[in-house]
Each structure stands twice: as C-alpha cells, then as structure tokens.
Structure 1
Amino acid sequence: FFYHSNCKVPGIVGMMEVVRESYPDFTAFDPSSKYFDVKSDSDNPRWVMVDIRFIERFEETIALSDLRHYPELEGMTLLRKGNRLSITPVSEEHWNFIGQLAHAQNA
C-alpha cells in the first residue's frame, strides 16, 4: 500500500507492489544530492531503497484512525505503537481486507 503520513488525515491512499528488494540508496553517496549523507558509503550504506510498481490509487483515503477500529487488522505492523513508517510487511489477510475496504468506498 501507499501511505501518506505527513498530512491532515494520515492513511492509505493506494496500492503498490515492491518489485525489487532493498539495495543501497545511491543518492546518499552523491555530494550534489539533497539526500547526501557524509556518513554513508558504498561499503557501509546507511540508507536503502526499493523499487515499486503502481497498482491503484484509491478514491478516498483509508484513515489511520479508521484502520485502528477493525479487529481484522489486529497485529498489522502499521498499527503498532511506536512504529516508524517506512516499508513494512503486510500479510495477505490484511492486504485483502484493506483492498475490500477501498473498493467498498468506491461502490
């Protein structure tokens, strides 16, 4: 899923798929990049990235506050206290349930 966190209503806004596992973020090694990190180097990278594929944009955001009310999503990494948003795993059960929520909003 694609998640917006730095906004008025944090939540899931669409579907995506990771198509390449994590690898060193080369922008951290480039002094001309705004993401340059002097403490990161190719032998000991501090930052990694993944490649993704767009699947679908939801018509409505599925708000984080709403997600917390569904017992079907118990144990989801995104909903754990103290979780840092990044790339997090999603079980097939949770994936299917959220997909159903998104499509029910569009009906």
Structure 2
Amino acid sequence: MGVVYDSARIALQERAWELASLRIIGLTQREVSAVIISELAAELVVAIPVGLLLGRYLIELIPSARASQSFQIPAVIDPSSYVIASLLVIAAAFASFIMIRRRIETLDLVAVLKTRD
C-alpha cells in the first residue's frame, strides 16, 4: 500500500499546478480526479504483470543460486498466489485513489498557482 500511495502522492505533488489550472479553466473536481487517477491506473495495468513476472523470476533464481549437491529446494508457486497478490495491489490502489481524490478536493487553487517552480 505504501508504494502505491507514495506513487499517487508524488504524482499529485508534481502535477498540482496543472490540476489547479484545469480547475480554474472550468473542469470539475471529478474530471480533474479522473485525469490523475487514469494515469495511475495505466501505471497499475503495466506494473501488475511486470511485478508478477519479476517475482516469478526471483523466486526461481534464489533456490537455484543456493542449490548444492546435498539438497535442492524447488520453487513452487500456487496460482492463487498471483490472484491474491494482484487483488491486494488493486485494493491498495483503490484506497490510494480515494485518498488522492480527497486531497484534490482540498486543493487550494490560489496557493498552488502562486508556487510555480
């Protein structure tokens, strides 16, 4: 949850000026939220399969690196582990989206526009 939330929070911090500008030119809070949430959802669509593949590779790499002639530990992954891991990441993303949406609702438009970097 921490990684997903931090990614969302950093995206909001980096794009606060643009999001405030969109609010000022007439977009609603829902439309502005959709912009950043769709960006984060696209990242999630890419991150879950890549994470599952890298996890599988690491799980196979560690036992093979520690294998000796006296014993070997097989790498066994239950298919339900992939489903559980994916659902946990999606749940964490959903919770993060709710928190980010609340932060967008409380965005001080004037203060954000004054602090241009």
For Structure 1 versus Structure 2, the TM-score category normalised by the shorter chain is 0.3 to 0.5
Structure with a larger share of its residues in helix: 2
TM-score where L is the length of structure 2: 0.30
Relative contact order (C-alpha < 8 Å, sep 6+): which is higher?
2
Question: Which of these two proteins has the greater Rg computed from alpha carbons?
Answer: 2
- Identify, as 1 or 2, the structure richer in strand: 1
TM-score, with length taken from structure 1: 0.32
